[in-house]
Structures are given as C-alpha cells and as structure tokens.
Amino acid sequence: MVRTVPVADPGDLLARLPERAPYAWVRHGEGLVGWGEAARTTVPPGPGRFAWAREWLAQVLGEAHTDDSVHRPGSGPVAFGSFTFDPDSPGSVLVVPKAVLARRDGRAWLTTVGDAPMEVVTPLRDPGAILYGDGSLTAPEWQHAVARAVDRINDGELEKVVLARDLNALAEHRIDVRLLLTRLVRRYPECYTFSCAGLVGATPELLVRHTGEAIESLILAGTIARGGSPEDDARRGAALLASEKDRHEHHCAVESVRDALAPLCKDLTIPDSPELLKLSNVQHLASPVSGRLSDGASVLDVVAALHPTAAVGGTPTGSAVSLIRELEGMDRAGYSGPVGWIDAHGDGEWGIALRCGQIEGSRARLFAGCGIMGNSRPAAELAEAQAKLRVMQYALEG
C-alpha cells in the first residue's frame, strides 16, 4: 500500500534525512529525498538494461495499491536509480524508498510504502581528516593517456573522446552522506544534488526532465575555470565563447542529443548558439533543449536514447567508448552515467552523474572528466580535471 498526502512546508529537505542510506535529488530547495528500501534491484548489465529496468519498474510499481491525493510528478511510488556509464559494467541499481518527502512549485507531500516509520534524524557528523591517493592513473600517466587520445583523434579515428580521472580519499571517520549533500547544496545551488546507493554529487547537467509529453534537457560541453576578479571572469567567459575547440566540442554534444531525441519527439527546440552557464568554480558552454514526445515514452526511454551523450563519451560514440576502455585504465562505475528518479507514470528527472564520488564507509572514490579534441593540451586538461575534482573535495573537507 502506497499513500501520498500533502504536508506543511518541511523546510530544508536534507535536514529531514536519517543518516542510513539517504536518497536525494534536490535543486534550489526543491526536489525529493527518501529513506528506507521498499524494493531494490541490481539491473543486469548489457545493451538491454534500460528496457529491463522499465519492465521491473512496471511490475513493482504497477502492483502497488496507491492512494495519491496529490497527483503531481513525483507523487505516488517513486524509484531512485543510478546506471553505470558502460553498459557492460555491473552496478546499476533501482530503489523504491519506504518514504519520500518532496517539494515542488510551492507544494509539499509525503509518500510512504506500507508501514514506514519516521526514522530518527541524528546530527551531521564530520569525517575528520582526509587523505588523498592516486586513483587508477597518476597525473603524469593520465596526461600521457590524453596525449595518446589526441594522436588518435588527429589520425582520424574519431572527433572527440571524454577521458575521466579518479582520485581516492580516505577519511578519519565514516563519511556522513548527508553532510556532503548539505555542503554541495549550499555551494552549488544551481546544480542537481543527488544521492543514490552511495553515489553522491552535484551535477550541472540535466539529461532529461519528463513531465507528461514535455521533455527538457541541458547540454554542457566546453569548460573554463572562473576568474579571480569580475574583469578576469568576463574575459574568460568571452574566451570560452570564442574558442574554436570548445565550440566544436559543444557542437558535437548538441548533434548527439539532436540525433537521439528527434525520433522520439514531434517537436524539438535547440538554440543555434550556446550560452554561458557560470558555476562557482567553472563556466560551461550550455544549450537548453525542449520538446514534446510523439508517443507514451517514459523518462527511461529518453534516458536510453540519450546515453551516452557526446558530452561524456565522445564522437562517434562507438569509437569513443572503445578508446575510453583502452586508455582510462579503470571502470567508471556510476560516474557519467544516468542518475535520477522515475514515478509510476513514467515522469521523472535524470541527470548525468558528474562532480561526484562513490562513498563506502570511510572511503570515497572521486571522479572528473574532460572532453579531448585534436588540439587539446594534456597539462590544460589535467588542470581542468583538478578543478572539477575540487567540488567533491570541498564536500568532504568543508
């Protein structure tokens, strides 16, 4: 039995979370948080994983006896999910929490599955001192991988490839995911802050928002660090908008999204030129996308069509993914894979898991990636990756 009821404004959604296994999707104070597990599955790897996930959700959510007096996207039974970047990698999960607290457009509600007692909310705990160590590749090794990728691009094998880095972190105490979420929301309110099965982060990139027939997406590709003064910041933004390398990288991402969404949509709008999206640490070239679906596709169908975009894989996709497997020397796990939520009507919001880390006890594995083009410089790409890693380092250290 699933019951959704209106509730008074809960204030800070994250402040209502218990420490154990919190789920979250929050931006500008709105979104959903959840706790407990009414149902959970590990999605089998392979090319049909999104179809398998949709069938599992249809069975589990379809069997629910739902009493929903709110009737909004995200009311009734909801599943949080995280999919690995590589379809052949294990670790994709879907979870239906026992309780979900949500706020959207001035309304708030609580959904409970069965007897879902409110858990005790304990004070946030600091992880203490943090020690960092190399991930799969050292910094020089990763720069060498970038140089090899540039050679392969200039040899004509592909146009672009996104190479990721990982960084290991060991905390003095067990890491409280709620503290990371709280710090990320405070520092990056314009991002989608998420938590699902230990994958925690704040992504600027909305893969898709699905509400009825309407869909929205945000394409980000092309990055530069923020400046040290307003004048420097403006110069950097102008340089990014004028950069042939970054504009081409962004164009590749736009075309991959257009090609994926056009068959699903009866209308699709993508601006001719990108705009600047300024975050607290970096600036991105950004293109907002909107459209209407031509049939009853769920948000997972759109996710399946879009992933992986050129912004996280490369162009062409097949060649880029093969080169990623060859050069990165690691399994990305959930990094740069889809993360978000879906309700029983197929509505939902999914982002790309960027600026994130996989948390397990007192250990964290942090991730960042860069789009590599034919004129990329390894040292500059390493600096960009380090700037992106600082997002999760801030979440750990405060």
In this predicted structure, the answer to whether residue 342 has a pLDDT above a threshold of 90 is yes
Asked whether residue 277 is assigned to any structural domain, the reply reads yes
For residues 388 and 167, the answer to whether their CB atoms sit within 8 Å is no
Average per-residue pLDDT for the chain: 95
Among the ranges given (33-42, 111-120, 121-130, 255-264), the one the predictor scored with the smallest mean pLDDT = 111-120
Q: Is 205 a catalytic residue?
A: yes
**pTM of the prediction?**
0.93
Q: pLDDT, tens digit, for every residue of 282-332?
A: 899 999 999 999 877 899 999 999 999 888 999 999 999 999 999 999 999
Catalytic residue among 160, 328, 349, 388: 160
In this predicted structure, the answer to whether residue 394 has a pLDDT above a threshold of 80 is yes
Nearest CA to 194 among 174, 207, 180? 180
Q: How confident is the model at residue 363 (pLDDT cuts 50, 70, 90)?
A: very high
Asked whether residue 293 is assigned to any structural domain, the reply reads yes
- Three-class HEC string of 30-66: EEEEEECCCEEEEECCCCCHHHHHHHHHHHHHHCCCE
Asked whether residue 390 is assigned to any structural domain, the reply reads yes
Radius of gyration (C-alpha) of the chain in whole angstroms? 20
Asked whether residue 177 is assigned to any structural domain, the reply reads yes
Asked whether residue 123 is assigned to any structural domain, the reply reads no
Give 229's contacts (C-beta < 8 A, 6+ positions apart).
none
139-142's contacts with Cβ under 8 Å and 24+ in sequence apart are: 139/382, 141/329, 142/382, 142/385
Mean pLDDT, residues 369-382 taken together = 95
Asked whether residue 122 is assigned to any structural domain, the reply reads no
Give 88's contacts (C-beta < 8 A, 6+ positions apart).
45, 46
How many structural domains is the chain composed of? 1
CATH classification at residue 314: 3.60.120.10
Peptide bond into 316 cis (omega under 30): yes
Asked whether residue 381 is assigned to any structural domain, the reply reads yes
Catalytic residue among 159, 205, 249, 384: 205
For residues 346 and 297, the answer to whether their CB atoms sit within 8 Å is yes
Q: pLDDT, tens digit, for every residue of 192-242?
A: 999 999 999 999 889 999 998 899 999 988 899 899 999 999 999 999 999
Asked whether residue 75 is assigned to any structural domain, the reply reads yes
Domain that residue 200 falls in: 2-117+129-397
Mean pLDDT, residues 98-119 taken together = 91
